[in-house]
Amino acid sequence: DGGITQSPKYLFRKEGQNVTLSCEQNLNHDAMYWYRQDPGQGLRLIYYSQIVNDFQKGDIAEGYSVSREKKESFPLTVTSAQKNPTAFYLCASSFTNRDNEQFFGPGTRLTVL
Amino acid sequence: KQEVTQIPAALSVPEGENLVLNCSFTDSAIYNLQWFRQDPGKGLTSLLLIQSSQREQTSGRLNASLDKSSGRSTLYIAASQPGDSATYLCAVRQRTGNQFYFGTGTSLTVIP
């Protein structure tokens, strides 16, 4: 089945630790995105990538880092510099053709202990 | 910067009722608008995609309309069912920067 997978589903982090969230897609999409969702707020864009080895900052990139070494994979690292990382993180992908829709993974819930 | 608003934030209706969810956006320079459904603790499921040149799209009991010039879209759900209970989000794909901007969603509860 084609789709987007995210792992883990739940993640707990101690203060001062870096953690990496995984996102993989087998839809042959060129573009991949990371969003953060907080209660009562819309999705906010962290980073996006439209091609391998290239990515752009979104509205809330501070304290996060990404890499795009393979078309299928777009991991997100939440660094210790992110002051309030507890949130629901969603990965998405789409074709870069602007007529196409965006598809989402099931999400990772990160909690800082 | 694009601002996307959804009103109401929450809606409760009896089963069988027809209902309309609203989405408004401030910048009409968009490629398309997409409606999603989100169940608690889950990812987003795409419902309908409307291109900027289109006026409406239909899928089963769902009908979405787009008035780009006025910056508005509506999602019409016919004959609502308890299984329709979820949060519905709209998103626009911006021409500038090719980013997506999301509304905060409408939480729908359909009462049996």
pLDDT tens across B10-68, in order?
999 999 999 999 999 999 999 999 999 999 999 999 999 999 999 999 999 999 999 99
Count Cβ atoms below 10 Å from residue B29 Cβ, excluding itself. Answer: 12
**What is the chain B residue with the closest CA to A101?**
B49
What pLDDT tens digit does each residue of chain A (113 aa) get? 669 999 999 999 888 899 999 999 999 999 999 999 998 788 999 999 999 999 999 999 999 999 999 999 999 999 988 889 999 999 999 988 777 889 999 999 999 88
CA contacts within 13 A on the Cβ side of A27: 21
Which residues of chain A make contact with B104, given a CB cutoff of 8 A? 40-42
Q: Predicted confidence band at B95 (pLDDT cuts at 50, 70, 90)? A: confident
Q: Does B93 touch chain A (CB under 8 A)?
A: yes
CA distance A111 to chain B (A): 14
The per-residue pLDDT for A1 is: 60
CB contact (8 A) between residue B91 and residue A90: no
The per-residue pLDDT for B97 is: 74
In terms of Cα–Cα distance, which of B85, B33, B77 is closest to B59?
Answer: B77
What single letter denotes the amino acid at residue A67?
A: S
The single residue listed with the structure tokens 């990515």 is A55
Residue B99: pLDDT above 90?
A: no
The per-residue pLDDT for B56 is: 96
The per-residue pLDDT for B77 is: 98
Are B67 and B56 in contact, with CB atoms under 8 Å apart? no
Q: Residue A96 phi/psi, 5° resolution?
A: -75, -20
Q: Predicted confidence band at B74 (pLDDT cuts at 50, 70, 90)? A: very high
